[in-house]
Amino acid sequence: MALLSKATITGVVTKRQEQQSKFGDTRPRIEPGIHVLTLSSVTIETAKESGNPMIVIELSATKDKQPFKEFFVLSSKNEQGQVVPNENGLNKAVLFLVDGFGHEVPECNTEIDILNEFIKFKGKTFKGAVQVREKLFTTDKGVLKIDKTTPKLWYVGSIDKDLKIKPERLHLPLNTEDQKKWLEYQKYNPAPAPETEKKDNLPF
């Protein structure tokens, strides 16, 4: 009889998949610092709130860590309501491909053209500096809380490059918009006072 049977292995894997489906990915998140990352998936999606098209990439480090996503907004609307290239998102996209893979990015006429440039490196590895940032989220009970472990890709380099980091910049506080939301929430939802230890008057 096998010490670790095929049935046991299948059962363990199935149980974890069920847990991940029910509760989300239960693996720990990636820590801040320099990591070898894999470009594990590339898609083009539409932002829920703005409706802007964006390249969405999923990055993974090791099998025991959760993958995380980065977004490159391709176009947005100006004050006149006209659709224009999103300079910040496009710059980020170009630097990701150039710095991470040494890719000479050609002129791209459409969003699909840009997507295809990313797809060329699906499954490829590079080095990335990862920050963690504070981010607000709302629980299923409507309570606003701060998540202090949301990973964010800081900058990238080729797999053989020695990246340098400033440790004091690995942790990012809430952005200005979230800070305002958090202060407003605390104003109307003050934290409960800590319970004081009850004491009696007995001498023993």
- How does pLDDT run across 20-39, given as a tens digit for each residue? 555 578 899 999 999 999 99
Report DSSP state, residue 167: G
Strand ranges (E), the chain: 33-46, 53-60, 68-73, 75-77, 83-85, 125-138, 144-157, 171-172
Whether residue 185 has pLDDT greater than 80: yes
Tokens 């590079």 sit at which residue? 126
Lowest mean pLDDT among 5-14, 156-165, 191-200: 191-200
The Cα–Cα gap between 186 and 179 comes to 11
Tens digits of residue pLDDT in 117-153: 999 999 999 999 999 999 998 988 888 999 999 999 9
Q: CA 91, 92, 97, 100 torsion: positive or negative?
A: positive
Provide the residue type at 110 as one letter. T
Q: Is the pTM of this model over 0.95?
A: no
Say what the pLDDT of residue 193 is: 61
- For the chain, the farthest-separated pair of C-alpha atoms sits apart, in whole angstroms, at 84
Question: How far is the first Cα of the chain from the last one, in angstroms, to the nearest whole number?
Answer: 61
| Residue 17 pLDDT exceeds 90 | no
Picking from 142, 149, 135, 141, the residue whose alpha carbon sits closest to that of residue 177 is: 135
